[in-house]
Amino acid sequence: MADTVKVVDPDNGTGTDYTSLDAWEDATGGVASGDVTALGAGNNAVAKCRSTGGTADTAPVTIDGWTTDADNYIKIWCDPTESYRHLGVWSDSKYRLTVGAETAIANYENYVRVQYLQLSVNGAGLCIRCYNTASSDIRISHCLGKNIGTLGNGFFFYTSVDTNAVTLWNCIAYDFQYGICVNSASAVVTAYNCTTHDCANGYYQAAGSLTLWNCLGDHGGNLNSFPFSGSYGAASDYNASSRSVATDGDHDRVSQTFTFLGAADFHLAENDGGARDYGVSDPGGGLFSDDIDGQTRTGTWDIGADEYMSSSTPLEVDELSDSLINRVWRGII
């Protein structure tokens, strides 16, 4: 047997199985009774998200009622080998899940992977919210979340169980009330190389454990914004803040100025002095080796979701509209 892969495309292009991620979930991804374990070890239920005509997916999704395990997980992604995923900066021509004052993805299941998605909310919405004290081994990476109203939240966790409960890496959250938040006494969340910007609380541990490595928090000039607020896992280190506090790691950098490529483009500029080359290399012990764009990190890693690249990487012609290839891939014109 093999992965059960279904194509989600709001534009109903060639090969489409479902026109919304919610419809895919309602049909348990085409997996009988939602029992992914019945597919055999190493086989997974996969939603491959596309937007062939640039139409947004606007239906909130609740992931519930499945059977998964460590060898059979749920995977929701934009395949990075295709042209439908973002390049680290918001694009209305790429796949995106956009909702109002709702939760874009509400997860109640174990063993879930979410990768390369754009998510936005309005009002008091949430991009991804994990519930249930039984949630374990949730992995969220290369995701871009933004708030287009007020009070919204980015990545919010009530999950618990063990040290593998939730892991995030290479994610960006901006303009939220809470960018990345843990709010359960037994929750265990670890985030690597994430970036928050202009969030009232960028990284917030209200309860439980939020451990941060190589994470960047920037208030962007918004004096009501607190990049780091609350307490953090004792192992947290190599984080950088635009304010005078971070996580109390021995190698944290505080009161930093970060230089990005644009107002809503959080790729590091060549002249950035706040995050470039100040992280620790491979904080996840082999979990990942790239940045939010999928570019390989080299040398001493940068802090945040982006790794500055001094040379361009060839991309497809139809990607040229994405921030002029992110200013021709990191400002090299």
- Across the range 235-258, mean pLDDT stands at 97
Q: How much is the pLDDT for 310?
A: 81
Q: What angle do CA 28, 101, 75 make, to 5 degrees?
A: 30
User: Do the beta carbons of residue 133 and residue 88 sit within 8 Å?
Assistant: no
- Across the range 83-94, mean pLDDT stands at 97
Q: β-pairing, 172-174 with 112-115?
A: unpaired
Asked if residue 325 has pLDDT above 60, the reply is no
pLDDT confidence tier of residue 50, bands split at 50, 70 and 90: very high
- Burial (CB count <10 Å: 0-12, 13-18, 19+), residue 149: middle
- One-letter amino acid at 240 equals A
Distance (Å, rounded) from C-alpha 278 to C-alpha 274? 8
Q: Is the dihedral of CA 181, 191, 160, 80 positive or negative?
A: positive
pTM, full prediction = 0.92
What are the structure tokens assigned to 130, written together?
């994990």
Asked if residue 226 has pLDDT above 90, the reply is yes
**261-290 tens-digit pLDDT:** 999 999 999 999 999 999 999 999 999 999
Q: How much is the pLDDT for 278?
A: 98
Q: How much is the pLDDT for 1?
A: 65
Q: How much is the pLDDT for 200?
A: 95
- Across the range 36-45, mean pLDDT stands at 97
Asked if residue 257 has pLDDT above 90, the reply is yes
**172-190 tens-digit pLDDT:** 999 999 999 998 877 889 9
Asked if residue 259 has pLDDT above 90, the reply is yes
Q: How much is the pLDDT for 206?
A: 86
- Across the range 206-227, mean pLDDT stands at 93
Average predicted confidence (pLDDT) for the chain: 90
